Amino acid sequence: MPSVIQGFLITTKPKDVTLESFPTVDNIAAGATTTIVYPSLYKGVAISVAIINQDSANTCSISLNGSTAFNLSASGQFNVNDQNIVSVKITAGAAAITNVVAQVAPTLLTTERSRFAFERG
């Protein structure tokens, strides 16, 4: 069943084995605030995201799909798996970058049900 997340129509399911996903890597500069919007940048939705704070002295701030932000500890890692992630907002620590590694599934014009439907005669 399609859903709308942050204004984007999502027709994929995170565990759909028919999807051919691809990796992305975004490096957020020290002290910068960046929002990664996967449908706009990569024409897909992230189904898994790993956020690695390379700053050994400062926390970084994370917000997923517009949710309330939370802090990731210095040198910490946060993983989200098997979810539909439209956007990730990161405020990196002042001393080092933050890496965002994602598995992105392409935006499809069909649903899982229609991809598996076969006309039988």
Domain ranges of the chain: 3-112
* pLDDT at residue number 92: 96
pLDDT in tens, the chain (121 residues): 567 777 776 767 777 777 788 999 999 999 999 999 999 999 889 999 999 999 999 999 999 999 999 999 999 999 999 999 999 999 999 999 999 999 999 877 665 566 566 555 4
Q: What are phi and psi of 107, to 5 degrees?
A: -75, 125
Q: Which CATH entry fits the domain spanning 3-112: 2.60.120.10, 3.40.50.720, 3.10.580.10, 3.40.190.10?
A: 2.60.120.10
Q: What is the DSSP letter of 39?
A: H
Q: What are phi and psi of 13, to 5 degrees?
A: -110, 140
Provide the sign of the torsion angle of the four alpha carbons 107, 115, 4, 20, taken in this order.
negative
35 touches 67 (CB < 8 A)? no
Q: In what order do the strands lie in the sheet with 33-37?
A: 33-37, 87-91, 60-64, 70-72
